[in-house]
Chain A
Amino acid sequence: MAVTRFTTRSYPQDLRIFPSPAARISLVLLGALLLTFPLFMGTYGVFVACICGVSIISALGLNLLTGCTGLMSMGHAAFMGIGAYTAAILAARTGLPLIATLPLAGLAAALAGLIVGVPALRLKGLYLIVTTLAFQFIVEHVIYHWESLTQSDKGIALPSPDLFGFPLNSYQSYYYVILALAVAAAVFTKNLLMSRTGRAFVAIRDRDIAAEIIGIHMAKYKIMSFAISSFMAGVAGALYAYLLHLISPDHFTFNQSILYIAMIIVGGMGTVLGSILGAVFMVLLPEAINAVSGPLVSAYPDLAPRIGGLSVMVYGLIIIFFLLFEPLGLFGIWIRIKRYWKTWPYTY
């Protein structure tokens, strides 16, 4: 196998997302797997897949803001919360269908994003982190204490969603809605990143002075990044609300915001694939810990009260591991594996 293949490609060919036939074939296989997934997995498996999908949409949003534009946000769960509560309140009180509540939830979150985005024009780094942190706590507080609207810790129950009269009353049917939206979100983000908008985001992240001098309107793109990111968080929050049928303030806490930051660090900052891998990894991790801890507890009953703390420790260790040894995250590992097989049996 050739180590380096010198090929002549036209510019459009050079610009394709999936340049090789192998990549396209594996994409088709993955698509087939995802479409048939509910047929051979149990209800719980499909439920976990739904959570994965929601997390992917949300992580894509956060990665666009933090990974690509370089604006750190500690309030991502708050944006999800705004989306979830918008959808829940609209669905429970006015009976609006899913097709209307989802975009409205996104818009409500995007509006909040615009408001938080304005201080971001002047704040960078730590100062922005603290601002978004404050936003997170404000939203938590409002959700908890505006009882007439949110019913505080009693939570809001959502009716079962339907799409154009077709009831989505099982996880299996709802799975396809989430799958479609997750794919749409991934394509949307990939498109943005490959075009001038995405390049402008990255330019602002890397060197804002140079970005301005080549004609990038910094304020516009920073606000845009906040709005898109929070729109995606809002839609993800709404999907999450319908999935759980009941939402309460506990679902959108500061811990959740940290979890999303962990997703993009573990997955890979600033990449679409990284957001997906990171989200799936962080959702499956507690499942894996549960699977291990079951037999562990039955073997050593003394461990039972401490097993919860153990999972938090594993979380922390994994984040530290990635920060130290693989800053590019799972995406970096994936790239390395790909390169290894491309050039095999040579080392480079």
Chain B
Amino acid sequence: MGFLEIREISLHFKGIVALDRVSLNVEEGELVAVIGPNGAGKTCLLNCISGFYRPDGGNILFAGRDLAHWRPDQIAKLGISRTFQNVELFARMNVIDNMMLGRHHHFRHGFWHNALFGYRATEEAVHRRKVEEIIDFLEMERWRKHLVSSLPYGVQKRVELGRALVQEPRLLLLDEPMAGMNQEETEDIARFILDIHEELGTTIVMIEHDMDVVMDISKRICVLDFGRKIAEGTPGEVQKNLDVQKAYLGDDATTLLKKEGAG
């Protein structure tokens, strides 16, 4: 039994087929990339895993549990955390508060304890320590008490990654972590992703358009096009796959490439 098993899930919006019997197995400790042209259904796939969309067919198993009837917040508690393509941070809070919110389901004290003893804040300090560890890990010390909305886009994406990490996830879903970043920021994030994978041993499923990064850091790649999985394999295998070339470059370009290869 796999760690994350996606079994033939389908998703339709009225007449549009967003996902068509997509299957994917991810073993514990893997780093898998999901690629594909725009509108291929990559984000839909992540949304199904994190519980925002309910697939109309097939099922998703995480550590042996079927996620069909779980709410997003329950799935988060199971140990799946994620980042978004467009940063989804709490803009009016500072970095620390954003990340403390990531600790939400690790707190033991509930409403009554909060209301009566909140000011003693003992538990708060414990979680603060964990947050500071991740802040160190992602090298964000100097932005700690800055309002998130005042930070540059690249840093905001890093804060979001931090918020996903303080949840101590077993499975981390990253939706285009490098989108809109310059070369330097991209390299930073790529390094962080590798560190997370290697030092923390977190299983990662990542959507990314930056092919250099994808080919460099992922061990396995799954390619989607128009909601179907058209290829899966190591970076080398995927690059050589004709269907993948067709999806990215179109039919004509593929024949051109072939001719060039032949000539």
Contact = CB atoms under 8 A, between A and B. Distances in A.
Interface of A: 10-12, 14-17, 187-188, 190-200, 202-203, 206-207, 209-218, 224
Contacts of B100: 196, 199
A206 B118 contact: no
B111 A197 contact: yes
Contact of A213 (B50, B91, B97): B50
Nearest to A210: B88
Given A12-B125, A196-B109, A206-B90, A214 B118 contact: no
Interface in B79-119: 81-82, 84, 88-93, 97, 100-105, 107, 109-111, 114-119
* Residue with the highest number of chain B CB atoms closer than 10 Å, among A203, A206, A210: A210
Contact of B167 (A191, A194, A215): A215
Contact of B72 (A16, A191, A199, A213): A213
A217 B89 contact: no
A206 B91 CA distance: 7
Given A12-B121, A215-B76, A191 B115 contact: yes
B104 A195 contact: no
Given A206-B92, A214-B163, A200 B104 contact: yes
Contacts of B73: 212-218
B93 A191 contact: no
B115 A194 contact: no
A210 B90 contact: yes
23 contacts: A11-B128, A187-B119, A190-B119, A191-B116, A192-B111, A194-B121, A195-B118, A196-B109, A196-B114, A197-B111, A198-B114, A199-B101, A200-B104, A207-B90, A209-B88, A210-B90, A213-B72, A213-B76, A214-B81, A214-B105, A214-B167, A217-B73, A218-B73
Interface of B: 50, 52, 71-74, 76-77, 81-82, 84, 88-93, 97, 100-105, 107, 109-111, 114-119, 121-122, 124-125, 128-129, 132, 163, 167
Contacts of B77: 215
B157 to A, nearest CB: 13
Given A197-B110, A199-B97, A215-B76, 15 more contacts: A11-B124, A11-B132, A12-B121, A17-B119, A187-B119, A190-B119, A196-B107, A196-B114, A197-B115, A199-B100, A202-B93, A213-B72, A213-B76, A214-B76, A216-B104
Nearest to B121: A15
A210 to B, nearest CB: 4
A214 B91 contact: no
A203 B101 contact: yes
A16 B89 CA distance: 25
- Closest A-B pairs by Cβ, 6 of them: A191-B118, A215-B76, A195-B114, A215-B105, A210-B88, A11-B125
A12 B121 CA distance: 7
A190 B84 CA distance: 32
B121 A195 contact: yes
Contact of A194 (B119, B129, B132): B119
A188 B92 CA distance: 23
B71 A217 contact: yes
Contacts of B107: 196
Given A202-B90, A206-B93, A207-B90, A212 B72 contact: yes
B88 A207 contact: yes
A27 B115 CA distance: 20
B163 to A, nearest CB: 7
Interface centre among B107, B118, B121 (most CB of A within 10 A): B118
A221 to B, nearest CB: 10
Nearest to B164: A214
Given A214-B102, A214-B104, A224 B125 contact: no
A188 B116 CA distance: 6
B85 to A, nearest CB: 12
A235 to B, nearest CB: 14
Contacts of A11: 124-125, 128-129, 132
Nearest to B106: A215
Nearest to A196: B107
B34 to A, nearest CB: 18
Contacts of B129: 11
B50 to A, nearest CB: 6
A187 to B, nearest CB: 8
Contacts of B89: 207, 210
Nearest to A10: B125
Nearest to B80: A213
Contacts of B111: 192, 197, 224
Contacts of A210: 84, 88-90
A203 B100 CA distance: 11
Contacts of B105: 214-215
Given A12-B125, A197-B111, A214-B102, A191 B90 contact: no
B82 A213 contact: yes
A141 to B, nearest CB: 33
A215 B104 contact: yes
A24 to B, nearest CB: 13
A211 to B, nearest CB: 8
Contacts of B74: 217
B115 A192 contact: yes
Nearest to A270: B92
